[in-house]
Chains A and B, each alone.
Chain A
């Protein structure tokens, strides 16, 4: 199957960078856990939570967004680099899916595996050196599952940014999100101003207390709004970003390349 060939090619070509990235994560975890084990032994008490849970969201979200942002860069926008990818005998959909699946699905799964394996090694070391209790990273918890689901939804925005912007993909995506946030805030303010018009006087005179009575009055509307929000966040946003990113990949050509 050609998609498998494209996936293999992507992994093999990124292998070196992925190994460096994995090693960095391992060393960060090792340093923090060993330091915590050492301080715990010195203080003869417990020093905070494990480094695994504290670091996982950072590496999952921030790390994943940055990896996603740069993953298309050379193949789509490098003047010399894009030739191999554009002329690779695979369809634009296969080329897009290979990168999108690696950054959205494979990345969190590989990160979970890396955290779990690292924790086994580090905990064993901590046990042998400092006699610390063995408390490895548990990937089978609801918060970890929820984080991965949220990553799948939000990562799609960075996928779009990676294919849409020709350089500084991550920064531009964050700036675009900030701008979008401001615009949505303005729209929401206008919406609230209209919806709660009887309780507002003048431009800034908010003359009401947001009690249960008001909530009860608008319960139906708020439930609908919540469901719309859920559908947009979990389905429409990722679908829009994936489809738009694919179309961008399909249409990319040599004139999109930068020096």
Chain B
């Protein structure tokens, strides 16, 4: 689906990616996590051909994204964090944009819009930011593209809409589709994104599915501060200490807390890479 090898990219003189390697096979809802400025949006723009790498090779859906070939673009939908919609009604927007996507499903679009409570006869410029986002998300899901790139999709959505977002995305998922969801609001995405990709300091420092994380690591809330040599990671949370240890064979699997995992990987990249050996990282 996506293969990036030895990618180098920089804004001005400051390098952002220096030798980034990433391979994303099809058929999952990938969560792309990273700190502010880690390069999540940049990476997504490299996928959709909006930015060109300075060095390295990239293949997206079998195409070189730099060429922005129509065959690649009609099988890819990218919902950015910020966007502009023309001054027209939603149905007019559909009439001029849907024909570009050969597998566009109008029935599905009406279903998604209905789920989000959107009226297609309304003018797009009169919608709120969240409503616009829900409209574009419905459009992207109905386009039936193999690859959906969603950059901070829950930003601007109200609480019920966030739950609806998770339900709608999960219902639209098929074996042939791949979602890449970039977010720093991991709580919004828990139970939806899997595998997890974490980028930090210009590299992919973590790329594993949740199953292999819970196979190898245990996360617990402990009341006493653990010794540093007993755990891979610990952090003070309300009510005690959240800890991550390597899981022993006889230990039961625990649920993965994404926020703790993210913090742990960012601060101890190498330790987690070693602990997850046998996984993808």
Interface residues of A (CB under 8 A from B): 2, 5, 8-9, 12-13, 16, 74, 78-84, 86-92, 94, 253-255
Contact = CB atoms under 8 A, between A and B. Distances in A.
Interface of B: 11, 45, 48-52, 68-70, 73-74, 76-78, 80, 82-84, 86-88, 92, 95-97, 99-101
B99 A5 contact: yes
Contacts of A90: 70, 73, 100
A82 B69 CA distance: 17
Contact of A253 (B52, B78, B84, B95): B52
Given A9-B96, A12-B96, A255-B51, A87 B78 contact: yes
Contacts of B95: 12
Given A83-B50, A255-B51, 15 more contacts: A2-B70, A5-B99, A9-B96, A12-B92, A78-B84, A80-B80, A80-B82, A80-B83, A82-B50, A83-B83, A84-B83, A84-B84, A91-B69, A92-B68, A253-B52
Contacts, number: 67
A243 to B, nearest CB: 18
A87 B73 contact: yes
Nearest to A86: B50
Contact of B97 (A9, A80, A86, A94): A9
Task: Tell me if B's interface is mostly helix, strand, loop or mixed.
Answer: loop
A9 B80 CA distance: 20
Contacts of A87: 48-50, 73, 76-78
A16 B80 contact: no
B50 A253 contact: yes
7 contacts: A5-B100, A8-B96, A80-B84, A84-B83, A94-B70, A253-B50, A254-B45
Contacts of B86: 12-13
Nearest to A91: B70
Contacts of A89: 70, 73-74, 100-101
A171 to B, nearest CB: 24
Nearest to B85: A84
Contacts of B82: 79-80
Q: What 6 A-B pairs have minimum CB-CB distances, sorted nearest first? A: A89-B74, A89-B73, A89-B100, A254-B50, A9-B96, A81-B84
A258 to B, nearest CB: 14
B89 to A, nearest CB: 11
B83 A86 contact: no
Contacts of B52: 253
A97 to B, nearest CB: 13
A81 B86 CA distance: 10
Contacts of B97: 9
Given A80-B84, A254-B50, A88 B100 contact: yes
A83 B100 contact: no
Contacts of B100: 2, 5, 88-90
Contacts of A13: 86, 88, 96
